[in-house]
Structure formats: C-alpha cells, structure tokens
Structure 1
Amino acid sequence: MRPRAVLRFSALLLSALLLSACGNDQQPALDQQLYIWQRQWTAAHVDALAGSRADFSTVRVLALQAFPQAGWSRARIDAALLKQDARPLIAVVRLDGQLPSLDQDEIIRQVRQLLADWQEQGLTLAGVEIDHDAGSARLPAYARLLERLRAALPSHLALSITALPAWLDSRELPGLLARVDSSVLQVHAVSDPRRGLFDPRQAEQWARRWARISAKPFYLALPAYGVALLPGAEGAPLVESEAPLRRAGERRELMADPEQLSQLGRALRADPPPHLAGLIWFRLPLKGDVRAWSLETLKAVARGDALSAELGIRLEEQDGLFDIRLDNSGNLDRPLPEQLTLAVAQCDGFDGLGGYSAELRDGQLLLTRQRSGRLAAGASRAVGWARCTKIDQGAAHVRP
C-alpha cells in the first residue's frame, strides 16, 4: 500500500473508531425515587409499594414534623411493610418554614430518638433528609444546625436537604451545601399556585443554575399530584392538597401535567446538568387518591414512555339490561369526557352514574358529564345503565 493510501486508510479507521466510541458513550439513566408523604399509612400502601418497586430505587418517607404551635408529630408508618419492601430508605424530617427559630438541641434529640425507634422496629436507614423551607435570610442559622446534625448522626448515614430555587441568589448557599451530602431541589409549588404547579422550562433553568453552584450530587423533586384552590379571607387563595381543609367554597383543581413532566425528563436525559443524580417524585399515589396521578401514569413518565389515553365505551348486557362503562386502556390519566353517545332502540329505562346524567334524544342515549373528574390509566368507571332491545356498540362515541 502506498504512503498516501496508508494515511487515508488510517484516517478512515480513526474516524470509525471515534464514531463507535461516541455511539457507545451513553449517559446513565437518571435514578428515579419516590416520596411517601402520607401522615398515616393504610392498607392501600401494600399495593402501592409493590407496584412501584420495579421502577423506583429508593423511598423517602415522611417521618417527623415540627410546627410552630402544634409542636412535634410522627407519621404513623407501617414498619413491617417498609422492612418487607427492602429498598433503600430515607427518613424525612419536616421543619415548618414558619418556625420562629431552630432549637438545635431539641431537633437533634428528636432525630436521634426517631432513628433509635425505627432501628428498634427493624428498619435500616440509608439517610436522613431535612425538609425546611427557610427564607434566604435564615440560611446561616440553618447551616449551623446542619453542621451540628451531621456531627451527631452516624457517619454511615447520608444527610440531605430539600432546597428552594429562591436560595440560588444567596451567598450563603455554597456554605449550606458544603454541610450535607446531597440536596433535593424542589421545582414545584414554589410560585403563585394560580399560575400552576409547574413550569418545565423554569425547572430546567433552575436545575442548570443549581449544577453550577453544587459540587455534590443533587436531585430534582418533581410533582405527580394536584391541589385545589379555595377563596381566602384576604383575597389570596387557600391551597388544599392531600389533607382536606374544613372550609366551604368552590374548589378549582390544578393538576401537574404528565406531558410537561415527560418533556422535562427527555431534556434532562438528553443533556443532564453536572451532578444531577436523579429525580424524586412527589408523591406515592394510593388507590382513591384523587389529587395524585395514577401509579401507571407515574411509572410511564418516569420510564420515558410515550403517553396516551385510550378511552372506550364498554357494554355489559344481561337480559336486556346494559351496564355502560368507560374504560381507559392507555397509560395516561384523562379528564372525564364531556359527553358519551350511544345508538339505542326501544329503551324503557335508563340513568346516568358516576357524575353523568342520561337523556334520550332521536334514537341516541346521551350521557353528559355533570361534575369534573379523571379516569386513571388502566381504570374503568360505570357511567350509566339502560334497558333497551339493542345498543349498537359500533355507534358509541366519546366527546371530546
């Protein structure tokens, strides 16, 4: 082979090797974790934990809370169920942002007692997370607490904190982050709720700014839930989340959009910020939780699956009595449709169910939604019944 041919061959071979190396240089998948935020555990946790185990590596469990007037309270967890679950376990200690001051001695005593009690119940902890929505002016005092807490905890336990985007402009932030092993940047429910729970562009901007400050691993806390807004006494709305408020008035529901969260996940997988270790979803959904995504939708978003809601009408007939059901065979929760229409013949009785009214008009049975709601992914809902000689399954329609 002549010299020039050798050079050309070498260049082509080098290019092929570089392309091959680039093709194999895939970023590791983002770790997916879950918050369990119920203050009292129920039988519904059994299925929820089992159904989430394959997709979420770690559970962060609300364990202990301190409020300005109510004082300290423990979450009533199911220790046997957590032990059986066997995933890495992080206890979350919530220090309300309205506490007038941080009593370091009492906080450390409470945390130590919590750890001893959980250990006595057979639980092995991977870490402790402090959730404190402190104003930026109070970060120096918060840093002092974390320094003492880190010294008081066993060395094998990781210490993390929940963090706010508002801290990005504080000169105290680097010193605060130096006192913990990791941070969890909360990018939801931080603005006026009337503007929504989540903005994917703003969340990504915050994450990239955080990556320039934090030299340690950090996570993003992302919403998989909704809230209701109620009129407040002074104009500002009251926010009702997992705990109902004893207050009359019309509730306007806001729900985090799975499509938006899926969009953010794709962006972060394609170009992850430095030090981003994973995503933590708030919160583990239980059966009957009307203000949380279904577990099927949450898992689909976490995996990066394509999302779709597939609604269909299903009839169950016995001796001329038709039960009418609405099915969602997709992986995306869907608001209840406005109206269902069915072609019928010779009906002598009918009614709507599950928030729908029924009306017979020109050979059509119309089921019209009377109140808002959602049909979870993989779920079915009875929406009416009719006693007719015939209902044409092929002429049933969902709108919209």
Structure 2
Amino acid sequence: MYGLPRRWIAALFFLLALTGGCREEASLPFDQQLYVWQRQWLPAHAEALAASHADFSTLRVLALQAHPGAGWSRIRVDAPLLRADGRPLVAVVRLDGQLPQLDAQRAREEITALLADWQAAGLTPQALEIDHDCASARLPGYTRFLAELRQALPPGLRLGITALPAWLSSPELDALLAQVDGSVLQVHGVSAPEQGLFDADKAFAWAQRWAERSERPFLLALPAYGAGLISSASGAQVESEAPLNLAGERRELSADPQQVAAVVQRLRDERPAHLAGLIWFRLPLPGDRRAWPLATLRAVARGEPLAAALAVQVERPRDDDLRELSLTNTGNAPGPLPQRLDIAARDCQAFDALPGYRMQRSDTGLVLERQAAADLAAGQRRALGWARCSELDQGGIHVRP
C-alpha cells in the first residue's frame, strides 16, 4: 500500500467513507491534509502550495465565516491558483461558537451562494466542512441546523463538521454525527489558553474515545503553529494568524514539534479504529512567524527524525574590515540560540550586537553572549552583529550551547 500514488490512497479513503469499511483502514497509511486558513490570500500562497503538493493530498480552505459583531465575510480565495494546484478541495465555513444564536436561514443562504460562486469560478469542492465550536448545550440546535442544511446542498456534496473533545460527554453527540458524512476532531487550542495549545496524552485519549463514538472514518486536526497569549484587564485573548491590536502582557505559546511527532507515532503504533488521516493547521506561508516552517511540518507528517543544524556565518559585504555575523538553521526542527560565541579576532576598532545578544572584547578577540533564550526555526537566518577587525575568520569562532 505504501507504494500507491497519493491520489489512489485518497480515493481508497473515499470508498471507505462510503462503505463504512473499518478493517481495511488500519492497514492504510495516514492520509495527510492541510488547512489553508489565511483570511487574505497573498502571492506567497503560490510558493507555499507548490512546496506542499507532494506531501499533502487535500486542501481544506477557509471560505466563509461569521463572527459576533463582525457578521458574515467571504474569503476571496485565489481560484485560478487552486484550479492549477489540482488537489481535492473542501470548503470550510467557520461559524464562531460565541454567536448569540445561529441564524439558520441566513447561514444556508450564505453557504449556498458561496458554493454557487465557487462552481462558477471552476472550483468543485468534494465536501463542505462546518466549523462551529458551540457549547455542548447547543448541540440539539446545531443538529437541526445540519439536517436542514443537508437538504439545501447540491446532490453528491458530502457534509462534515469540525468537532470538539468536550462534546464526547454529551448524549446529543450520536444524533449530531448521524447528520454528517464525517468529522474532524480538533485536539489543539481546545483547553484554556493558560494550559497551552496542545497536550499529547489528552489528544491521543480523545482520539480513542472519538473512535468509540464515530461509526464512520474520521480525521484528526493537529497543530503546526504557535500563538500569542495576551493578558489584560478584560481577560486573556489568543493571537494567532492575525495580529490583535491589544495592550497587555504577551506570552508566546507553541506546539512543540517533538511532542506532536511523538503522538503521531503513537497513533501509527496504536491506531484508533476509524482514524483515516491527519489534517494540519495550517499551511505555512513565507513570513508567517507563528506557523511551523514547511520543513518541520513535512518531517513530522512523514515521521522523520527531527534535528536542528545551526551554523555561524561570517560575511564580508565590502572590501574592507567590516564583518557581519549571522546564524542559520539548515535542519528540519527549531534549535536554541547559542548561549555564547567566542570569536578569535585582532585589531577590532568597532563592533556591536543586534538585539538578543551582547558583544564585548575578550582575551582572544570578541565574545557574543545571549541575553534571552530563544529558538531559531528551521530554514531561518538570524543576524547576530557586526565587527570591524583586521582579522576575523569563521574558523576561529567557538560556539557554546
């Protein structure tokens, strides 16, 4: 099975979903999919989609959203780019769980208009996914909404939902799952922000429990990103792919690639029944400082070893004594910035470090000392400082972790 083309594997999962097959799915590799969750499409999407094409079979694209106060908004996706990409598409509609009430008629109108516009643009989604993180007490109303929505959808379009672990304790869950063709269990960002983005043990336990409740193949949504926790007098707010203009104390949260990789391996070794694949949140764009670099995401999805590879570089931009020092990470995992760099140098007339380090003279030349712990992501480069010295060679730099 591992030698089959990815499109064939995706087709097999589709057949399993239709037939309700269980025994065969355990022998198949995980299908790997991606959420495209940017609310504004950029030229960088072309590079990101092309780079992800070989490893991720399906794109789940944020297409429409409704938020309290902001109302309804359509995501202006790049239809020509998605057509050229050629991968199967799932249109995702985000209905914020904090909406005072769900206007079912308005939602159906917005969704059917979206699907018609996608069709006119040459985009034919294979499924519609509703992402509505409502409280368990509101599941009966959500179930009725899904039943009515199904009647308004084009024939043959599958309907799925994003689901929360909190719903596992609700007696209404079975009725809810009966209204959809499949579900995506989200196991990141579902606890209080102060508890972090992801807990590997809880994620695995939730997947096992979901397998007991779902009679159909389901997928697991895993994190490949970080977020900022902003604490202020009005409470805690989470800042993720979009910046929030809020004042307050900020703390960075992050899904640790090693921890996520460990739970993926555990899922492979002790695969819950009906677990058909993984969906990664989110497609990383160049310049997205909180999303994992694609090299890290790809390694975790493939089950490859994770390792950083940090190296110091010395560049001489002009034909004089100026040297510029930087650090690069050519590995596939983040690595901690070195605590200290001893630099063999002579006749240094001037020097300075960039924020995060301090540079001063030493018995052998110069020394760079880290001021605060930080990581360098895979594929990233960080400038450290500069110096004007008559002699300063890369081979004379000793790095202390």
Q: Same fold (TM over 0.5)?
A: yes
CA distance in 2, matches of 1:249, 1:367: 31
Q: Secondary structure at the match of 1:202?
A: helix
Deviation at 1:370, TM superposition (A): 4.7
Aligned match of 1:397: 398
Aligned match of 1:206: 206
CA distance in 2, matches of 1:365, 1:65: 54
Work out whether residues 306 and 333 of structure 2, in 8 Å CA contact, stay in contact via their aligned partners in 1.
Answer: yes
Aligned match of 2:304: 305
Aligned-CA RMSD value = 1.8
Deviation at 1:172, TM superposition (A): 0.7
Inter-CA distance 26–143: structure 2 relative to 1 (3 Å threshold): closer
Mapping for residues 16-35 of structure 1, pairs under 5 Å: 27-35=27-35
Inter-CA distance 246–311: structure 2 relative to 1 (3 Å threshold): same
Q: Secondary structure at the match of 2:188?
A: coil
CA distance in 1, matches of 2:229, 2:398: 33
> Which ranges in structure 2 are unaligned for 5 or more consecutive residues?
1-24
Q: Secondary structure at the match of 1:29?
A: coil
Work out whether residues 340 and 396 of structure 1, in 8 Å CA contact, stay in contact via their aligned partners in 2.
Answer: yes
Work out whether residues 354 and 382 of structure 1, in 8 Å CA contact, stay in contact via their aligned partners in 2.
Answer: no
> Which ranges in structure 1 are unaligned for 5 or more consecutive residues?
1-24
Work out whether residues 313 and 397 of structure 1, in 8 Å CA contact, stay in contact via their aligned partners in 2.
Answer: no
Aligned match of 1:249: 248
1:108 and 2:108 correspond: yes
Work out whether residues 325 and 384 of structure 1, in 8 Å CA contact, stay in contact via their aligned partners in 2.
Answer: yes
Kindly tell me the number of residue pairs found equivalent between the two proteins.
Answer: 375
Q: Secondary structure at the match of 1:201?
A: helix
Aligned match of 2:135: 135
Aligned match of 2:63: 63
CA distance in 2, matches of 1:391, 1:38: 44
Work out whether residues 27 and 269 of structure 1, in 8 Å CA contact, stay in contact via their aligned partners in 2.
Answer: no
Aligned match of 2:237: 238
CA distance in 1, matches of 2:182, 2:40: 27
Instruction: Give the alignment's TM-score, normalised by structure 2.
Output: 0.89
- 1:350-397 residue CA offsets vs partner (Å, 9 max, x unmatched): 222364332222224222345665422123222222222222433423
Work out whether residues 232 and 248 of structure 2, in 8 Å CA contact, stay in contact via their aligned partners in 1.
Answer: no
CA distance in 2, matches of 1:217, 1:285: 27
Work out whether residues 293 and 333 of structure 1, in 8 Å CA contact, stay in contact via their aligned partners in 2.
Answer: no
CA distance in 1, matches of 2:127, 2:213: 23
Aligned match of 2:279: 280
Aligned match of 2:359: 358
CA distance in 1, matches of 2:157, 2:85: 19
Instruction: Give the alignment's TM-score, normalised by structure 1.
Output: 0.89
CA distance in 1, matches of 2:98, 2:76: 23
Larger radius of gyration: 1
Deviation at 1:320, TM superposition (A): 3.1
Mapping for residues 217-228 of structure 1, pairs under 5 Å: 217-228=217-228
- 1:225-247 residue CA offsets vs partner (Å, 9 max, x unmatched): 1111122215x422211121212
Aligned match of 2:322: 321
1:262 and 2:241 correspond: no
Aligned match of 1:330: 331
Work out whether residues 232 and 247 of structure 2, in 8 Å CA contact, stay in contact via their aligned partners in 1.
Answer: no
Mapping for residues 53-202 of structure 1, pairs under 5 Å: 53-202=53-202
Mapping for residues 37-48 of structure 1, pairs under 5 Å: 37-48=37-48
Q: Which amino acid is 1:327 matched to?
A: T
Deviation at 1:324, TM superposition (A): 1.2
Aligned match of 2:7: none
Q: Which amino acid is 2:205 matched to?
A: Q
